[in-house]
Each structure stands twice: as C-alpha cells, then as structure tokens.
A and B are shown apart, each in its own frame.
Chain A
Amino acid sequence: MVEANKEMKEGISAWAKFYRKGTGYLAFAFHRLSGLVILFYLYLHYTVLSNLLRGQATYNAIVKSITYGPYDSFLALDFLLALVIFYHGANGVRLALNEFGIGMYHHKALFFTFEIIAMILLGLFDYYALQFVGVGF
C-alpha cells in the first residue's frame, strides 16, 4: 500500500523503474509498452493503406520505398514489431485467462510457457516471411 502510494506520487516515471520489482512487474511494464507501440504502428498502417486510393503506381512506389529503408533499417524494425506483437499476444492470453479466473496461481509458469510458445511461432513466422524478402522487387 505504502509502495503503491509512493508510486502514485512519482507518476508515470515510476513505471520505468524496474529495480527489484520482479518478473511480474517486468511482464506488466512490457505489456504496456508493447501495447502502445502496436497502437502507434496501427495508425501508421492505416496511413500507409490510405494510399491505396491513390492507385497502383503510387501505392506500389510507396510500399517499395518503405519496405527496406536506409540500410534495411525498416526491415529490422518490422522484425522488432513482430517480436513486440508476439510478446504482447502471449502475455495477453495469460492475462485474459486470469480475467476468466484461470491460472491465477501460476503466473510465472504460464508467463514463461506462453512466451516460449510465442517465440517459437515468431521464429517460424520470421523464417517464412524472410523467404520472400527481395522477391518481385
């Protein structure tokens, strides 16, 4: 309670203080951060998709110019985005199950189980998605 009060007073900056807060807090903080990152990307995605209305030539030119970016940095960001999405999804399933009263007493085990499954799926996704990098350009 005292800790919580202290955090309220410290405001948002307290969320970024990981010291001695444990796995649960890390999971929570990264869930929050990843949610915000994906939301930001969602609006970026809508913006890029709006260019479909400008026709084939313009849309394809835009997609080409933003797929790789300087030194393939945009491609690297895409991989980071996939990591963030898979992390959030896996932890989100655990939190959703908690919401239905499932797994309340096995937070840590479920966190690691879901994250390991998600990271294996992420590896497969990255592997197959990479097969087509450069195709058609």
Chain B
Amino acid sequence: MVENEKMKYGSLNRFVQAVTGLFLIFFLGVHLYVAHIDFRHPVAFFSSVINQLHNPWWLAFFLIFVYIITYHGINGLNHIVADTSISERAKRDIGIALMVIYVITIIYGTILALLVARMTVPA
C-alpha cells in the first residue's frame, strides 16, 4: 500500500516534470529569440532588459518562466537524488532542502523582477 502510494507520487512527479518541460519549449524558445536575436546583441544590455520589464505582459511572462524553469530544474535534481543509493532518510532530507531552495529562489526572483521593472533608463 505504502509502496503503491509512492509509485503514484513518483509517476505524478514525472508527469509534472514532462508537462513543465513542454512549457519550457515555449518559454525558452521565446526567450532565446528575444534576448539573442531580436535585441540585436549577443547579450541583452541594461536598457533592453529594463524596457522589456516595463511591459506588464513581459513581466508576467518572466515571472511564470522563473517559477516553471526553476521548478523543473530543482525537481529534476530531486529525481536524480532519488535514483542514487543513499538512505531513504537522506533522500527525504535532501528533498525538503531542495523544496526550500525552490521557494527561496522564486521569492528572490519575484522581488528582483519587480524591483528591476520599477527602475528607469537614464536618458
């Protein structure tokens, strides 16, 4: 029974990893196009980034992007940890630590994006 619950959780987790991965195709595609081709620079400069974040739609795009990409990466790392031969207890502890890192990262990312969106480009 416990084993069954674990299997169910494991497969839900893999399913979420797959769905977030597919979303990332869209987000990364748009991001790579905008930041490396449309900005006409090998990397985005200050003014291009600030101008983009002044648009609330782009701000929302980036916030969702950060939530999804960080989730996918950290959850993927958790899958890898689950696949090692360390003890179940260590796996659980690392899982909790990764969850905390995820939450801290997205809070930090949100604050950073909101602060940057409020900056002005000097003339």
List the interface of chain A (C-beta within 8 A of B).
8-9, 11-12, 32, 35-36, 38-39, 42, 46, 49-50, 52-53, 55-56, 59-60, 63, 67, 75, 78, 82, 85, 89, 92-93, 95-96, 99-100, 125, 128-129, 132-136
A-B contact count (CB 8 A): 103
Selected contact of A36 from candidates B41, B42, B77, B122, CB within 8 Å: B77
- Contact indicator B21/A85 (Cβ below 8 Å): no
Q: A60-B46, A132-B40, A132-B41 are in contact. Are A96 and B21 (CB under 8 A)?
A: yes
Q: A42-B69, A67-B43, A128-B37 are in contact. Are A53 and B18 (CB under 8 A)?
A: no
- Report the minimum CB–CB distance from A79 to chain B (whole Å): 11
Chain B residues contacting A50 (CB-CB under 8 Å) are: 112
Question: CA A28 – CA B14 in complex, angstroms?
Answer: 15
Chain B residues contacting A132 (CB-CB under 8 Å) are: 36-37, 39-42
> A52-B46, A85-B32, A132-B36 given. 11 additional CB < 8 A pairs?
A35-B77, A35-B80, A36-B80, A42-B69, A42-B73, A49-B49, A52-B50, A52-B116, A53-B116, A63-B44, A125-B32
Is residue B95 contacting chain A, with contact meaning CB distance below 8 A? no
- Contact indicator A9/B85 (Cβ below 8 Å): yes
- Contact indicator B74/A49 (Cβ below 8 Å): no
- Contact indicator B32/A135 (Cβ below 8 Å): no
Question: CA A38 – CA B46 in complex, angstroms?
Answer: 23
- Report the minimum CB–CB distance from A55 to chain B (whole Å): 8
- Contact indicator A60/B36 (Cβ below 8 Å): no
- Report the minimum CB–CB distance from A99 to chain B (whole Å): 4
